[in-house]
Amino acid sequence: EVQLVESGGGLVQPGGSLRLSCAASGFTFSGYAMHWVRQAPGKGLLWVSRVNNDATTTNYADSVKGRFTISRDNDKNTLYLQMSSLRAEDTAVYYCARGRGGAWYYDYWGQGILVTVSS
Amino acid sequence: QSALTQPPSASGSLGQSVTISCTGTSSDIGSYDYVSWYQQHPGQAPKLMIYEVNKRPPGVPDRFSGSKSGNTASLTMSGLQTDDEADYYCGSNIDNTVVFGGGTKLTVL
């Protein structure tokens, strides 16, 4: 059974940093691109970032470029999102998701982890 | 990274059909079969319902279907059930980013 479990969320002050993790199991992690998608309270989905299967290529939304870094450890079956210079507008539930094909659709999602940026 | 355009709300009666649209441009939806659809119930993670315009993942009922015409993709749900009441999002790979629609809240009457 495919499972994606996020951790590392919580309350952080504006300008602070946080690292999210997503532990994957039930599939060959190194064979898939992985993404982070976020959802602000009461709002829609917003794509954050993608890393390809061997971590040689990364992509970012303009809103997080230069502040967030996506990475993965295929030996540990874990995806990461290092977030820095956090702003109030980064407050959201962050989902990790398994990406598929050239269409970059998501067949599996984690349960999500809440990040709150507030003083 | 412009969002795809969805109606904010839609409704249909039990057992009836409803269609939700997702409008892009000739550069995205109009050019590639990259549209996917997700269902999200309150407090839950999104669930893939349709990918690559009209393909259904295993386990998704054939009551759910997808199509595309020009720059607009559509999700049609037939034989509406109470559990279909949820938010629905379209998404697409556009220039190596993923763009989502704003979401449509479906009410089953």
pLDDT in tens, A47-64: 999 999 999 999 999 999
Q: What is the pLDDT of residue B3?
A: 78
Chain A residues with CB inside 8 Å of B96's CB? 50, 59
Contact: A105, B36; criterion CB under 8 Å? yes
Count the alpha carbons within 13 Å of A80 in the hemisphere toward its beta carbon: 13
Chain A residues with CB inside 8 Å of B38's CB? 45, 106
| Residue A76: count of CB within 10 angstroms of its CB | 12
A111 inside 8 A of chain B by CB? yes
Q: Which of B45, B92, B102 sits opposite A109 (nearest CB)?
A: B45
Tokens of A15: 């300008």
**Band of residue B27 on the pLDDT scale cut at 50, 70, 90:** confident
Q: What is the pLDDT of residue B2?
A: 58
Q: 3-class DSSP state for residue A70?
A: strand
